[in-house]
Amino acid sequence: MIDRLEDLPVVVIGAGPVGLAAAAHLHQRGLPFTVLEAGDGPAAAVAQWGHVRLFSPWRYNVDQAAAGLLRDAGWVEPDPEILPTGGELVADYLRPLADLPAMKPAIRYGTRVVAVTRLGLDRLRTAGREATPFLLRLASGTDLRARAVIDASGTWTTPNVLGAAGIPAHGETTAAGVVTHALPDVLGADRDRFAGKRVLVVGAGHSAANTLLALAALAEQAPDTKVGWAIRSTSPARTYGGETADALPARGALGTRLREHVEAGRIDLVTGFSVHQLAPAADGAVTVSDGTRTLTVDRIVSATGFRPDHSITTELRLALDPIMGSTRALAPLIDPNQHSCGTVPPHGVDELAHPEPGYYAIGAKSYGRAPTFLMATGYEQARSVVAALAGDWTAARDVQLELPETGVCNSNPILHDNTITASGGGCCGTPAADTTTTSGGRGLATGISGGLLAAPLPLVGTSTSPGTDSAGGCCGTSTSPGTDSAGGCCGN
């Protein structure tokens, strides 16, 4: 007997920030739900980069439905101006949220989904499809049924390869033992892996920048440590970003310090380098070649971004963009060739819908290979999709983002502190920017794709410069190619 859809739960895949936000909205709407998390606790992926600090303060990192549930339980909210680490995001927000009585019984840890289909139907069968439950097969062999599926599993477990052509470089698989993926804990748990070694970081995004700064700090402690940086572009300008003109001072400081290390020779930058081949060398080292030049190193950090894994949904009818790997409707809105994090417009259920009714990928996975995802955008996706599943299409299509028009302007940043603003005037000496609803989608880098800041990192002030767009705020945001219009948040 086939269950009636309305008697089944909505299944959420992934108990990260966006998956738990979806669960909070489902509870708020009175819809039964089950959350399946492959890790052994909430936000297991975030915990792996728990040593890294976000660019944006707490007030932009919390979903409102989730915050409402927590406040009802007596939650003490973190200081909204503090920049949390990934570990603090888990400990002070996501774990308390997952442990609430309204949430905890519905979350199953150590549960990996290996396939999603329709009960008794492959993707060729059309008759009765919309009224047929989803079937989710788990790695344990158990089958679950669902009225709808919200896939918030992210992309953390499927990093891009080193090979510049999108496939592994020659010898990359054999050299896996010397390759570490993005954001290792260079100054903490992973220190011994890098201290005194020749380390090459490959990638031009903020994940690469974070790791390079940590390695530069390690080289001060262990002088035999040598730091190299290889990028495909001919200039590191995109990674440096807005620097002192950045609307997010912490993000600007990242680029400024990185540039200083490169110019001082503490980081050896190699431009125009596309990884073609890796080969073993003496004493466990490896050579990395672009076909013309060869670098010999002991360790490689691959900070080349992430890609979605759609293999579990091959029996669903998905309309995936052939380039981005997102939905076709969303692709032109997030294409990194045309957009940065700050220019991606708000979007919701209509842009996330597939020909398969009731299946939605939200969060980082919804963006496919585009590195322009923001955590706050994921929260709005969750709200919109859940509203649609509840039949409230007016709310589902009323897509907005509560973000400052110019990102976060600095008002007297405190050096060596984890606050983004201090008491006093607003950015550049004007009143502090109000939080307003914007349909332009200018936002903050709060996702793994580009919203991270290695800690500790001195913050730098912002200043007014000639040519600053008065309508866009006084922090001197940039809209040049390859630079985020809210300050340069994008790109792994």
User: Could you tell me the fold of the domain covering 176-234+271-302?
Assistant: FAD/NAD(P)-binding domain (3.50.50)
Please say if the pLDDT value at position 405 is more than 90: no
Write down the residue that tokens 């499809």 correspond to: 129
Please say if the pLDDT value at position 97 is more than 80: yes
Element (H, E) at 250: helix 249-263
Parallel, antiparallel or unpaired: strands 107-108 and 277-280: unpaired
pLDDT at position 246:
56
Q: Are 481 and 490 in contact (CB under 8 A)?
A: no
Q: Are 98 and 69 in contact (CB under 8 A)?
A: no
- Show Cβ contacts of residue 328 under 8 Å, excluding neighbours closer than 6 positions: 319, 320, 321
- Asked if the bond preceding 456 is cis, omega within 30° of 0, the reply is yes
Q: Higher pLDDT residue, 464 or 282?
A: 282
Mean pLDDT of 315-340: 90
Amino acid at 491: G
Question: Measured between alpha carbons, how far is 380 from 344 in angstroms, rounded to an integer?
Answer: 13
pLDDT at position 411:
23
Please say if the pLDDT value at position 434 is more than 80: no
pLDDT at position 171:
97
Mean pLDDT of 228-241: 88
CATH homologous superfamily for 5-157+306-402?
A: FAD/NAD(P)-binding domain (3.50.50.60)
Residues of the chain with CATH 3.50.50.60: 5-157+306-402
Question: Measured between alpha carbons, how far is 377 from 447 in angstroms, rounded to an integer?
Answer: 9
| Per-residue pLDDT tens digits for 176-210 | 999 999 999 999 999 999 999 999 999 998 889 99
Please say if the pLDDT value at position 404 is more than 50: no
Among 300, 265, 249, 302, which residue's Cα sits nearest to residue 475?
249
Assign 444 a pLDDT band (cuts: 50, 70, 90): very low
| Per-residue pLDDT tens digits for 107-161 | 999 999 999 999 999 999 999 999 999 999 999 999 999 999 999 999 999 999 9
pLDDT at position 181:
94
| Per-residue pLDDT tens digits for 62-84 | 999 999 999 999 999 999 999 99
Highest-confidence segment of 1-15, 125-139, 420-434: 125-139
pLDDT at position 250:
62
Please say if the pLDDT value at position 360 is more than 70: yes
Vertex 385: Cα angle to 381 and 391 (nearest 5): 150
Mean pLDDT of 271-277: 97
Amino acid at 93: Y
Assign 484 a pLDDT band (cuts: 50, 70, 90): very low
Q: Where are the alpha helices (DSSP H) in 168-236?
A: 191-194, 206-221
Q: Are 206 and 54 in contact (CB under 8 A)?
A: no
Please say if the pLDDT value at position 415 is more than 50: no
% of the chain beyond a pLDDT of 70: 77
| The token pair that represents 415 in the structure block | 């050096």
Please say if the pLDDT value at position 431 is more than 90: no
Name the CA dihedral angle for 41, 46, 48, 52, rounded to a multiple of 10 degrees: -140
